[in-house]
Amino acid sequence: MSDNLSSRCPALLVILMVLCMAGAASSFQVPETLKYDLSWTGIKAGESVIEIKMSGDNVLISSVTKSAKWLSVFYTVDDRVESRLTAGTGKNILGPPISYKLNLREGRHRKNKEVIFENRGAKARYIDHITDEKKEFDLPPDVFDPLSCFFQLRGMTLEAGRSVYIRIFDSKKIYDAEVQVLRKERITGPSGEVDTFVIRPIMKSEGIFYRKGEMLIWVTADEKKVPVRMKAQVKIGSVTADLTGGNY
């Protein structure tokens, strides 16, 4: 049973990382907290808390995801991700990136990686603290890490039937991720019925972005574009994240 769970539960982390993406336009408030319940085939499987706040002269985005007690018996998930950026000016809340840290525990699987950005995001030093691998990269302008890219999306204009693109540095690769805006849809959120855009990100990242089926995200069809629901298809059933509370 534990092997079967291990093959399915990484979808929890697919949702985690899409929940955590952040950005440059002032379409959201700081501080902001988003709390989610994660469910697998209708059974609660874990919780995620995403926060963005000021930390001195910087902006700090953090995410913590933990599996439910019943799941932890077979497959423990304890994931912590952090993105630190320079505070922007005017309407731009986020400036150039400073660092990105990824510390994942998923069953017997571990990741402990860090990216240090230099020269206002023009260079990146990649460090794998488990294998001791170290590499340096030259970056083009306006690159986001996997934790800071979704708030960038929240600052963009969305239109049903059109795609938007976000440049991401992840897993030692630079690429333009496509986000397809599929349609508008009215769903029930934590505060009642709400109009949303249904979007589908096309990601290439390793590990936590790995999945067998498509992922869909419902964001409110207003200026804040709050992600109120996420759903990822897996081998058996699906994993869903529903917004349950917070300060947004």
Q: How many CA atoms lie within 13 A of 1 on its CB side?
A: 6
* Tokens describing residue 30: 């700081």
**Which of 53-62, 106-115, 142-151, 165-174 comes out lowest in average pLDDT?**
142-151
Give pLDDT tens digits for 17-61.
454 443 334 467 789 999 999 998 889 999 999 999 999 889 999
Nearest to 199 by CA among 154, 237, 234, 238: 154
Q: Which of 40-54, 126-140, 201-215 has the highest mean pLDDT?
A: 126-140
Q: Is the pLDDT of residue 122 over 70?
A: yes
What domains, with CATH codes, occur in the chain?
2-243 (2.40.360)
The H or E element that residue 192 is part of is strand 192-202
For residue 133, the cross-strand partners are 128
Measuring CA to CA, how many Å separate 54 from each of 59, 75, 93, 135, 166? Answer: 5, 34, 10, 29, 24
| Burial state string for 209-235 with b = 16 or more CB within 10 A and e = fewer than 16 | bebeeebbbbbbbeeebbbbbbbbbbe
Q: What is the pLDDT of residues 215-230, one digit of tens each?
A: 899 999 998 899 999 9
For residue 8, report the phi and psi dihedrals to the nearest 5 degrees: -105, -35
pLDDT at 48: 92
Q: Is the pLDDT of residue 4 over 70?
A: no
Give CA–CA dist 163/159, Å, rounded. 8
Residue 213 reports pLDDT greater than 90: no
